[in-house]
Amino acid sequence: MSFPLLKQTFKSNFAVWGLVTLVMNIILAQLIMMKQTRTMMAPMYYGMLVSTMVALFVVICGNKLLAGQVDQGSMAYILTAPIRRTTVAFTQMIYMVLSLVGTYGLMAIVSVSANNIADAGFKAQTLVNLNIGAFMVAFAFAGIMFAASGIFNLSKYSLGTGGLLIILFILLAIVGSFATYGVDALKDVQHLTIVSLFDYQNILIEGSKWISKLAVLGGIGVVTFGIGTTVFAKKDLPL
């Protein structure tokens, strides 16, 4: 890993990361603190909002980490330094994962604190588990975007594949979520999206099925991050 590069990446993505993280935390705290929204907090926030909002950061930043800089040409300056391409990809990946850990770690702290302050009645462990689950969705998204970013030399292709796939998963998840409200025919839609692998309902009833589902999300993330790094290290770069 290259620390100077990590620092540069952190700086150039700080605004988007900060904004998305701030908004996500404010909404979460509000949903827990307000009495009327409290019961709907999990389906609203962890069912839809959380993955939609984090997708913004993942898609914008994921594209910029590799494909965007190759497309722009500024990757030439990073690669003029004696750094291996694998190291560059690995550093960018570390940034992506660490910033997501930051976002969801903060959300875990904020949700537990809001729960205590407002006496909302959630178990702290449940809130932590919900955030772990939501993190795994973001991790898989990040991997998908990273793979697209590593494969393509043009932003439009990286956004058009990785970005589009992520949006598609979110839309299917939203459509599928209506199955919970009695539209049984939509139940199958849930099998078409990886977002449903985050089984927040099972976490709420303190079941155990959710853990193995999250492992699948983790697997998707690991494989796709691997693909992005490998392809980026071996392809021709127009720099």
Partner 1 sequence: MNQMVNTVHLTKDYKKNRGIFDMNLQIKQGEVVGIVGKNGAGKTTTMRTLMGFIHPTDGYSEIRGLNSWSQASKTKRMIGYVPGEIAFPDTKSGETFLNNQLKLLRASKDTYVNDLIQRFKIDLTADIKRMSKGMKQKTALVCAFMTKAPLLLLDEPTTGLDPVMRDAFIDLVLKVKANGTTVFLSSHMFNELERTCDRILFLKDGKVIDVVDQNKFETIHSFQKVKIQTSTSEGFQKILTSFSETSHVNSENHEITVLISNTKVATLLVLLQDIEIDDISFDTQTLDNYFEKELQVK
Please give the residue ranges that form the binding site for partner 1 (CB under 8 A): 2, 4-5, 7-8, 12, 69, 72-74, 76-85, 87, 234, 236-239
Name which of 79 and 223 has its Cβ closer to partner 1: 79
Q: Output the CA–CA distances (angstroms, integers) from residue 43 to 103, 174, 180, 200, 204, in the order listed.
A: 20, 11, 9, 8, 10
Give least dist CB 235 to partner 1, A. 8
Smaller CB separation from partner 1, 15 or 185:
15
Q: Can you tell me the distance from the alpha carbon of 213 to that of 203, in angstroms, rounded to the nearest whole number?
A: 11
For partner 1, give the closer residue by CB, 192 or 233: 233
Q: Pick between residue 7 and residue 123 the one whose CB is nearest to partner 1.
A: 7
Shortest distance (Å) from residue 3 CB to partner 1: 9
Closest separation in Å from C-beta 52 to partner 1: 26
Q: Output 119 or 236, the one with its CB closest to partner 1.
A: 236
The rounded radius of gyration (Å) of the Cα atoms in the chain is: 19
Token pair, residue 80, equals: 């003029």
